[in-house]
Amino acid sequence: MKQYNPSDIINVALVGHGSSGKTSLAEAMLFLCKETERMGKVNDSTTFTDFDPEEKKRKISLSASIVSTEFEGKKLNIIDAPGLFDFAAGMHEAVRAADTALIVLSGKSGLNVGSEIAYDLAAENNIPRAFFIGKLNSGSAHFYKVMSQLVGKYGSKICPVVVPSYDGENLVGYVNLINKTAFKYDGLNETPIELPNNADVNHMFELLYEEVASQDEELMDKYFSGEELTSDDIIKGIKAGIMTGDLHPVFAGAGLDGQGVALSMKVMMQLLPTADMRSEVATLDNDDEIELKCDTNGPDAAIVFKTVADPFVGKLSVFKVVSGKISPSEKIINARTGEEQRINKVVALKGGKQIDSDVIPAGDIGAVAKLADVVTGDTLCQADKKLALKPAKFPAPVLSMAVYAVKKGDEEKIALGFARLMEEDPTITYILNKETGEQILSGLGEQHLDVIGTKLKNKFQTEIKLVAPRVAYRETIRKKFKVQGKHKKQSGGHGQFGDVWMEFEPCEGTDVIFEEKVFGGSVPKNFFPAVEKGIRDSAVKGVLAGYPVVGIKATLVDGSYHPVDSSEMSFKMAASLAYKAGLPLAMPVLLEPIGILKVIIPDDCMGDVIGDINKRRGRVLGMNPAEKQRSEVIAEVPMAEMADFATAMRSVTQGRSTFTLEFERYDEAPSNITQKIIEESSIDDE
């Protein structure tokens, strides 16, 4: 495969809200790059980047797809990222590898939550941003309404470069504001037309000149002196503004039939930063930081930003080379483990295809198979120049479900399958809840967990069912009570005899405390451990609903023994009988786990969110201001009420919220909740 210099490589991530047209735009771009013979459609499951069987079935993008191609003499790596919140890992992967985030907006729905989240993520990673307003061939779409939204949100950073021209409500063509040319389109067929002279287009010219002039004093003087800015002036000003983050160029078109896409792509090749224009900070072994420039002669360093798990082919590690190069001839180690990595071959990616390559140079994207112990976020580097690049920070899982095998005996296969899928998707966790004994799968939403289950079935031939996880309740007592426990059995020969008087009372903390206050040897000391064991073994299961008992003190105060028939087992049984007899009389209560919830929300959603917390029996403790017109709400909430909180917040805030929930303590459950739990436990026992 042809090799390119970093100055000829452009890495662009297509990001934005779900169904905004990212995959259709990618399809049009690839057709124009002659990667495909015809433009596929999402609804027909024929697109180049949605090649996974599950993506074809669901007609949505589930993960970031990389296609290496060429346009206008430059290497173009297009990374098509999913837009649905449940599959946010793909967007984080795409932004980590890209040198530009092209935020795709629908001309119908405009600026929405997913677009804002993509913008903020790119800003956090200091990635240049641009916008593409698409779906303009739809009757309900209107470019200038969306432009008004962008200017209202991001102000003077918005810089139009390719815009449509309307005759009334009819779209008649597209204008390249940089060189003042215009074209009309019949699908991909492009025909030059006269430069439109209407208020909308003229206003875009003014906006472009103002924003470009503000990037350079020389251009500012030229503009205000009335001298016309040349195409080179405009390109120079926009490129400078893109790199500083002060300008975001705006393009226009319709990905579904390709109109305007060729014009936008030609301008993108002039404006978007090439790989050599960006550098990264790397951390050395001694924790010092150095700047790594995108130079093929620099030290070898590549970040693994994505992993693909395949039960047949094996693991595929997808990386971006930040400095130097990666090839089979290079000696490479994993910076995290220090282990040398054997590279048999490197490949470039074209969607689901892998193209053999001699070397992946600085600025380019490639992949290598079967690297042991290499995971997403690892840095591949030289042994004599060990350094680590900053990994992507993925969102934490917010929805958890208990996993049960449909087929008995598949538990081990399920665990192995999840281990492989967790390599592929950093937003998955799969753990054993020791409290309840359940295996818990966590992800970013209901659809995410559903896809994980389907992948497990298709890739690893094992099926699961997901149910709401059990809540780890506790039981305790509220008053002191004294009771006898007597175990006596005679069946020929030596019998069994144990007799104890126990006092049960509540105590602070979550322990079971045992004491003895026996006088006169009524119970010999050598039986004390057996009594304690009988109490502790019994406390594993409470008398209300069978949950562990905490916060009780059991004191052995009296008893009796038989010199022949008494044994450790007899006294253990006697203690157990005392427990079963005494706890129901000591006012047992059910305790529920209480968590501390911290949720960051837009200010205009405050009332709805607090209302939702109140419905969950939560108690708001306070509110703190946060950045970007948001607030942090802190509350105590019963953990049992929070199973679908992530889904509710996504609905209430349109995906603009984030939250953490951590266990804090146990509190007594209300009587109606206690009764419900007791009834459910009795049904389970049956």
* Domain range list for the chain: 6-195+247-277, 280-389, 399-467, 475-586, 591-684
Domains 399-467 and 591-684 belong to one CATH topology: yes
Query: What would the mean pLDDT of 633-654 be, rounded to a whole number?
Result: 93
HSE toward the beta carbon, residue 304, CA cutoff 13 A? 28
Q: Which CATH number describes the domain made up of 280-389?
A: 2.40.30.10
pLDDT category of residue 493 using cuts at 50, 70 and 90: low
How does 255-277 read in b/e, with b if 16+ C-beta sit within 10 Å?
bbbbbbbbbbbbbbeebbbbbbb
Report pLDDT for 682.
73
Give the number of other CB atoms < 10 A from CB of residue 342.
Answer: 12
6-195+247-277: CATH homologous superfamily? P-loop containing nucleotide triphosphate hydrolases (3.40.50.300)
Q: Is residue 641 scored above 90 in pLDDT?
A: yes
Report pLDDT for 492.
64
Residue 446 token pair: 């209901």
The count of residues in the chain is 686
Report pLDDT for 683.
59
User: Which strands sit side by side in the sheet containing 181-186, from one edge to the other?
Assistant: 162-167, 170-176, 181-186, 189-193
Lowest mean pLDDT among 203-207, 315-319, 527-531, 563-567: 563-567
Determine how β-strand 552-560 pairs with β-strand 496-506.
Answer: antiparallel
Query: What would the mean pLDDT of 658-662 be, rounded to a whole number?
Result: 91
Report pLDDT for 685.
58
pLDDT category of residue 40 using cuts at 50, 70 and 90: very high
Say if CB 269 and CB 69 are below 8 A apart. no
Mean pLDDT for all residues in the chain: 93
Query: What would the mean pLDDT of 577-606 be, rounded to a whole number?
Result: 95
Report pLDDT for 1.
62
Q: Is residue 306 scored above 70 in pLDDT?
A: yes
pLDDT category of residue 582 using cuts at 50, 70 and 90: very high
User: How far is the C-alpha of 635 from the C-alpha of 272, rounded, in Å?
Assistant: 45
pLDDT category of residue 132 using cuts at 50, 70 and 90: very high
Q: Is residue 577 scored above 90 in pLDDT?
A: yes
Report pLDDT for 649.
93
Q: Is the dihedral of CA 422, 423, 424, 426 positive or negative?
A: positive
Q: How far apart are the first and last CA of the chain?
A: 67
Share of the chain above pLDDT 70, in %: 98
- Report which of 362, 366, 361 is spatially closest to residue 308, judged by C-alpha positions: 366
602 CB-near residues (< 8 Å, 6+ apart): 629, 630, 653, 656, 657
pLDDT per residue over 211-221, tens digit each? Answer: 999 988 888 88
Q: Is residue 311 scored above 90 in pLDDT?
A: no
pLDDT per residue over 353-391, tens digit each? Answer: 999 999 999 999 999 998 989 999 999 999 999 999 999
Give strand pairing partners of 289: 283
Q: Is residue 686 scored above 80 in pLDDT?
A: no
- C-alpha pair distances (Å), 550 with each of 356, 504, 537, 576, 583: 62, 12, 12, 16, 12
Report pLDDT for 327.
94
Lowest mean pLDDT among 137-141, 152-156, 311-315, 617-621: 311-315
Report pLDDT for 285.
87
Q: Is residue 188 scored above 90 in pLDDT?
A: no
Share of the chain above pLDDT 90, in %: 85
Helices and strands in the chain: count of H runs, count of E runs = 16, 37
pLDDT per residue over 403-443, tens digit each? Answer: 999 999 999 999 999 999 999 999 999 999 988 889 999 99
Report pLDDT for 329.
83
- C-alpha pair distances (Å), 261 with each of 45, 60, 162, 181, 255: 21, 22, 10, 15, 7
Q: Is residue 536 scored above 90 in pLDDT?
A: yes
Backbone angles phi, psi at 453, to 5 degrees: -60, -40
- C-alpha pair distances (Å), 20 with each of 99, 110, 255, 303, 523: 21, 9, 10, 29, 78
Query: What would the mean pLDDT of 326-334 be, rounded to a whole number?
Result: 91
Report pLDDT for 656.
87
User: How far is the C-alpha of 520 from the C-alpha of 375, rounded, in Å?
Assistant: 66
Give strand pairing partners of 171: 166
Residue 516 token pair: 């003895």
pLDDT category of residue 521 using cuts at 50, 70 and 90: confident
Q: Is residue 490 scored above 80 in pLDDT?
A: no
User: What topology does CATH give the domain 475-586?
Assistant: Ribosomal Protein S5; domain 2 (3.30.230)
pLDDT category of residue 474 using cuts at 50, 70 and 90: very high
DSSP tag of 110: B
Q: Which CATH number describes the domain made up of 591-684?
A: 3.30.70.240
pLDDT category of residue 500 using cuts at 50, 70 and 90: very high
User: What topology does CATH give the domain 399-467?
Assistant: Alpha-Beta Plaits (3.30.70)
pLDDT category of residue 684 using cuts at 50, 70 and 90: low
The larger pLDDT score, comparing residue 331 to residue 177, is at 177
Q: What is the pTM of this model?
A: 0.90
C-alpha dihedral (501, 507, 511, 515), degrees to nearest 10: -40
